[in-house]
Amino acid sequence: VIGKISTLLLLLSFLTCGRFVGIYHTVEPGQTLYRIALTYKVDLEELKRINRIEDPRTIQPGDKIFIPGARHALKVPPTVGGYTQEEEKTVSSLPQERKVKEKGRERKPPGNLPPPPSLILPTSGTLTQTFSSKEESLHEGIDISAPEGRDVLASASGRVLYADNRLRGYGNMVIIRHEGKWATIYAHLKRITTKEGEFVSQGEKIGEVGSTGRSTAPHLHFELRYGKTPVDPLLYLPSLTGKP
């Protein structure tokens, strides 16, 4: 068991967690997701993915859009009458252009992995930091801000591989091994309420939100991994936006 644990722990890189990067932009009448992306200089596809928006035209005044990397709300000029033809064209051509823009040493998102077990939100709260595999903003999980002591639940059923605070930076941390090579990681816990080797069912309490380790405020750092490969949990989790 020790061998297995240390293998997995070695794969965890330094924690780059605890920074609050991003704000919520409240959509005002006439604002399109395209204009919002343009104003904040963020990738439209990323905005869609993070906010789980399939069709950007469905956003409505009052919707809260999480803008990763933004620190202040900006004024977004309204588009009269929805999308202009030019915007429509740009929006539909963005997925192709994105590949060109993403150069540098970013690791490719895993495209050929088997699907993970179905995941539930490990806690309720506000998404304060998203997943990033870019060198300059590496964050191999997501941060969910929540009050200290709020229950942290097993996102999927599995065996507890690690439940300790031996790893610097992560504080009290739980790693659950799921079917296949999938694992979920829960860090900065105030308290751990499970034990190594125990089998936990999806939704079972494994700990409480805290601020242990390298952390500035109570939040849950949550990771999803396939073997050693970190995978963006937001691709598989129910939406977090609008659930403070």
Nearest residue by C-beta to Zn ion?
17
As measured in angstroms, the least distance from the Cβ of 222 to Zn ion is 8
Q: Supply the Cα-derived Rg of the chain in whole angstroms.
A: 19
The β-bridge relationship of strands 158-164 and 199-200 is antiparallel
As measured in angstroms, the least distance from the Cβ of 137 to Zn ion is 12
Residue number with CB closer to Zn ion (34 or 131): 131
As measured in angstroms, the least distance from the Cβ of 220 to Zn ion is 8
User: Residues 69-106, buried b or exposed e (16+ Cβ, 10 A)?
Assistant: ebeeeeebeeeeeebeeebeebbeebeeeeeeeeeeee
Taking a C-beta distance cutoff of 8 angstroms, is the pair 146, 221 a contact?
Answer: no
As measured in angstroms, the least distance from the Cβ of 184 to Zn ion is 13
As measured in angstroms, the least distance from the Cβ of 69 to Zn ion is 15
Residue number with CB closer to Zn ion (63 or 143): 143
Residue number with CB closer to Zn ion (28 or 135): 135
As measured in angstroms, the least distance from the Cβ of 183 to Zn ion is 16
Taking a C-beta distance cutoff of 8 angstroms, is the pair 22, 145 a contact?
Answer: no
Residues of this chain that bind Zn ion (CB under 5 A): 17, 143, 221
Q: Can you tell me the distance from the alpha carbon of 119 to that of 132, in angstroms, rounded to the nearest whole number?
A: 20
Q: Which of 13, 40, 9 is nearest to 177 (CA)?
A: 9
Residue number with CB closer to Zn ion (32 or 212): 212
CA 185 to chain centre: 12
Residue number with CB closer to Zn ion (44 or 67): 67
Q: Can you tell me the distance from the alpha carbon of 111 to that of 107, in angstroms, rounded to the nearest whole number?
A: 11
Residue number with CB closer to Zn ion (33 or 237): 237
Residue type, 53: I
Q: What share of the chain is helix, strand, coil (3-state, %, to 5)?
A: 20, 25, 55
